[in-house]
Structure 1
Amino acid sequence: MLMRSSPPGLRADSELDDRHLAAWTDPSATQRLPVSYTVFCCDHWTVYRRFGTAAVGSTHGGMGIARAALCDLGEQWEKALRSSSPAAHAWDLLSRRASERRTASLRGLHHLLGRDEADALVLRYKLGLSPLQAGYAMGLSEPDFELLRHRALRDLLPTRAF
């Protein structure tokens, strides 16, 4: 069993194994992609799938978005590793994929807020993730995630006249 220092309860070993990975990547890609990419996919699959499902309102559509984003990541894995946060790079890919097919209610939220702020609210309140888990998914520290979430909530409040 692999141990990690990330938030507990999100490991997706039973949902995403080598058979699943091979099913949505180019078969030759599975041979050339590093183990670190496979581990990243296994580690983030559950949250990515749940986020995609919440974004489009369909389990099948959510799985498609998560797979497409992780495929995009596989093609950019070296670039992601060179970035300041591979998880943030991956989250950007997922969020962009999801934004193409959002449900009407989430489109409204994204109209009012920036993409990251809206995503933070979806992770925290729609998926029920802790700030640590949601920050981990987005490639942010827990305090940075909380700052993003608070900023989003503040921006949703009506302007007060003093």
Structure 2
Amino acid sequence: MAFTAFCVLYRQRYLEYAHNRLADAQQADAVVRLAFAELADQWDQALRSPHTNAYAWRLLSRRIRDHAHETADEQGERPGGDSSAGHGDHAFLPDHTDDTRVLLQDLGMPLLEATEMMGHTAPRPR
């Protein structure tokens, strides 16, 4: 039941993020499905991890990255170049920084929601 609740809570945001990265709604849907299938297989391990959201986010990010590289290889593009994978001029950013940029700037997600979804500790107001 907890896994189902997790999927219901994050599926739409994962789809938005994947679509931004891959620039194709069908590919985004396929990648999110694969990430959730992998998470389902590893759910007990994800729950035992320090932060379930971070565990799930790593699976999603890896799936997106792998798919983008496979697509680039098929099209004869160089990984890290300006491609439909959404990286463009931001390819030099560390993954977590670029993820944050996409969530906050491109998708307009509030900071606390983005950090919670990625499994990062949000800064506390002083």
TM normalised by structure 2 equals 0.79
Question: Partner of 1:38: helix, strand, or coil?
Answer: helix
2:73 aligns with none
- The reply to whether residue 143 of structure 1 matches residue 123 of structure 2 is yes
Match for 1:39: what amino acid? A
Identity across the alignment (%) = 32
Question: Partner of 1:84: helix, strand, or coil?
Answer: coil
In 2, Cα distance between equivalents of 1:124 and 1:83: 26
The answer as to whether partners of 2:39 and 2:59 remain within 8 angstroms in 1 is: yes
Match for 2:83: what amino acid? A
Q: CA deviation at 1:110?
A: 5.7
In 1, Cα distance between equivalents of 2:88 and 2:23: 14
Match for 1:59: what amino acid? A
In 1, Cα distance between equivalents of 2:106 and 2:63: 18
- The reply to whether residue 57 of structure 1 matches residue 36 of structure 2 is no
Q: Which runs of 4+ in 1 moved over 6 A?
A: none
Q: CA deviation at 1:64?
A: 1.1
Deviations 1:6-31 (A, max 9, x none): xxxxxxxxxxxxxxxxxxxxxxxxxx
- The reply to whether residue 131 of structure 1 matches residue 111 of structure 2 is yes
Higher relative contact order (CA 8 A, sep 6+): 2
Match for 2:37: what amino acid? C
List gaps (5 residues or longer) in structure 1. Answer: 1-34, 145-162
2:55 aligns with 89
Q: Closer, same or farther in 2 for the Cα pair 1:61/1:38, shift >3 Å?
A: same
The answer as to whether partners of 1:69 and 1:94 remain within 8 angstroms in 2 is: yes
1:119 aligns with 99
Question: Partner of 1:142: helix, strand, or coil?
Answer: coil
In 2, Cα distance between equivalents of 1:99 and 1:107: 11
1:29 aligns with none
TM normalised by structure 1 equals 0.63
Q: CA deviation at 1:123?
A: 0.6
1:98 aligns with 64
In 2, Cα distance between equivalents of 1:59 and 1:90: 20
In 2, Cα distance between equivalents of 1:82 and 1:60: 32
Bigger radius of gyration? 1
Paired residues, number? 110
2:75 aligns with none
Report the RMSD for the aligned CA atoms in angstroms.
1.8
Match for 1:79: what amino acid? Q
